[in-house]
Structure 1
């Protein structure tokens, strides 16, 4: 990376230093994931106003995730070739447009359109932002960027659902206010990104239409040195994100099933509990070996899922929130350990692609089970759907832990 001093001499705009650029990109990652979780408490208002089923709710949720997957698989490596700054600034502007579409939604089709645009923008932005954090990492603090990539997304999801829950409870026009606030934030961040140094080694001719089409071909890219870590962490990643998708989309419905007369904010606090516990666990485990953190996190998913399964039978919100907190701690451990296993060995030109593959695997695991859960809920009821979902996560986690025990320790 060229020095900040040299870059300042070449540009008319003021340039943020390494520390400021790191903080800006960390805040962008938080905002992107906050926007992804912010609709969770609002879904109940949409359901009440537009009278749609749990299956429709999971379709709305999955439209965002599937669009994000398309972006990750086609545009996840763009910032490695076109530069971090133009790719991220453009994605943040697109994110702001998505917030405007969602704020103006008058029905399910418009809501799905806003979520699709948001998913595309988020997929492009998250891989570019995560790679930029690695680029701006202080040399005297190695590993800080991998920790930030693990903590900031779950911190963002926690902040988004908490802020949205408060706005739903107290703000006027709750189905619009949260989106408008995020719109302003994304425009401000897009402008600020223009003040950061460019860290990617851009290639000549990459903006030509033929070259761009070539870059946008669907690809799965993992740094060769990161592949053993992916082999170790993949089952835990799938189990953790599948469970995260359940709490995000159906957690509020489960809270209402257990306690129909509880405050409306209770449903939103389920997902907040998951993400807050994940953030705290990831921060607490940052100094432990990555392999240990990843496997211990996967192990925690099992009691978390089982306690959540028991909550409807016990008619206990306490059991639901306790199970959610355990699952969240496991989620945080899995993501923290997995990202450290993947990102530390990756070379600078392989970072965005490796991150895009991680997110693609994560969101694929998050979306497909949730759609199936929505279908099962329509056919057999929420309680049966929860039981099948939880049992599947437990089985997958156990399989992953048994498999990890037979992998070489250097993985």
Structure 2
């Protein structure tokens, strides 16, 4: 019994460290408008600054995504915290656009190092027989941390002094505390190898996975693209079109999408993998429709509903996609297939978001958003139709 309590305590502490790191990746979200005023760059530049993060994540996943299996979980997580700390320093020292690019790239590196390693670490710290609860801890830490970032930054920027400095100073302190906690937690990889044995883990797609992978990848791409637009341009839309200049409100709207995604992922256990992917696609389509209504009629309520419905759909779709793809993959290729799915998902955060920024320069933010929604709706509808014709086998 004491061993179980100690295991769950360590599992929760590992989850807290995970959440702190992920919060740093979304911390700048409600602050981009302030950076625009300070440095005088366009909405297109905001989307590029945001998307640099995804390139960092993809690079780490491809090159050293399996490093923690060799050198251990704690060293990789400490590297991730180091990247998060240097990212915060870049934002604290920012005197121009280059600092923002560097901060976002380092933030992406930290997320790439944490995503796989921290999920595995949290699950390994849990007592035997607690896999389901440990998965909940890892999921809540990941998406909950992403949601807490803009909420924390928005509240501090709105109600405390030094809006462009205090959020990152607070995060830097949290990272230092997380490093101290991590150093007291046990290592879970027993047989460690030198870093020189780690090889790039290139994407792979065995033939038996392709039928499942197509709709799963489309749903993941659209879900992450929706998050990308919310976290990069929704604060600007709220300010320009809805006259909402409260940074705490902007941060809360973005946070709602991530919190709803957490709820959607947790619902997969009850809904089942077979139904979660098509239901997730339906949720994404509904979220896109609500966002289109918000852009068309300038209604704040529809923005909030879009965040909740679209976030829930993203959670259902992504966890369903991940489970379906993992189940269909042969054991010796599973890691490569999952890496491929993550690469597609993070491409959704970057490519469409940059496209919205480019279009916004020429046709305005609202019309650019509507073009984005139309394209994403076609993609997710295609995936939904395919799933109706060839459903994923039902599993619990």
- Length-normalised TM-score, structure 2: 0.89
Q: Which of 65, 71, 95 is the equivalent residue of 2:60?
A: 71
Q: Give distance in 2, aligned partners of 1:261 and 1:71.
A: 37
Q: Which residue of 1 aligns with 2:347?
A: 364
Q: Which residue of 1 aligns with 2:241?
A: 258
Q: Give distance in 2, aligned partners of 1:185 and 1:227.
A: 42
Describe the shift of the 1:358–1:23 C-alpha distance in structure 2 as closer, same or farther (beyond 3 A). farther
Q: Which residue of 1 aligns with 2:284?
A: 301
Q: Which of 61, 70, 83 is the equivalent residue of 2:72?
A: 83
Q: How far did 1:192 drift?
A: 2.3
Matches within 5 A, 1:175-324: 175-204=164-193, 206-208=194-196, 211-212=197-198, 215=199, 217=200, 219-220=202-203, 230-260=213-243, 262-324=245-307
Instruction: Give yes or no for contact 2:151–2:248 (8 Å, CA) kept in 1.
Output: no
Instruction: Give yes or no for contact 1:147–1:286 (8 Å, CA) kept in 2.
Output: no
After superposition, the CA RMSD in angstroms is 2.9
Q: How far did 1:234 drift?
A: 1.8
Q: Which of 375, 379, 385 is the equivalent residue of 1:392?
A: 375
Describe the shift of the 1:363–1:100 C-alpha distance in structure 2 as closer, same or farther (beyond 3 A). same
Note if 1:338 corresponds to 2:321.
yes
Q: Give distance in 1, aligned partners of 2:44 and 2:11.
A: 40
More helix by share: 2
Structure 2 gaps of 5+ residues are none
Q: Give distance in 1, aligned partners of 2:127 and 2:322.
A: 18
Instruction: Give yes or no for contact 2:152–2:251 (8 Å, CA) kept in 1.
Output: no
How many aligned positions are there?
392
Q: Which of 3, 6, 19 is the equivalent residue of 1:30?
A: 19
Q: How far did 1:157 drift?
A: 1.7
Moved more, 145-154 or 80-89: 145-154
Describe the shift of the 1:92–1:221 C-alpha distance in structure 2 as closer, same or farther (beyond 3 A). farther
Moved more, 160-169 or 349-358: 349-358
Instruction: Give yes or no for contact 1:79–1:128 (8 Å, CA) kept in 2.
Output: yes
Describe the shift of the 1:136–1:410 C-alpha distance in structure 2 as closer, same or farther (beyond 3 A). farther
Instruction: After superposition, give the CA deviation of every residue in 1:330-366 in whole Å (9 maximum; x if it has no partner).
Output: 1221233234445678899988766644433221111
- Length-normalised TM-score, structure 1: 0.86
Describe the shift of the 1:368–1:283 C-alpha distance in structure 2 as closer, same or farther (beyond 3 A). same
Describe the shift of the 1:70–1:307 C-alpha distance in structure 2 as closer, same or farther (beyond 3 A). same
Q: Give distance in 1, aligned partners of 2:332 and 2:135.
A: 16
Describe the shift of the 1:291–1:139 C-alpha distance in structure 2 as closer, same or farther (beyond 3 A). farther
| SS at structure 2 position matched to 1:139 | coil
Moved more, 321-330 or 259-268: 259-268
| SS at structure 2 position matched to 1:106 | coil
Moved more, 181-190 or 380-389: 181-190
| SS at structure 2 position matched to 1:30 | helix
Q: Give distance in 1, aligned partners of 2:135 and 2:337.
A: 12
Q: Which of 364, 370, 383 is the equivalent residue of 2:366?
A: 383
Moved more, 111-120 or 138-147: 138-147
Describe the shift of the 1:342–1:32 C-alpha distance in structure 2 as closer, same or farther (beyond 3 A). farther
Q: How far did 1:261 drift?
A: 5.5
Q: Give distance in 1, aligned partners of 2:203 and 2:264.
A: 29
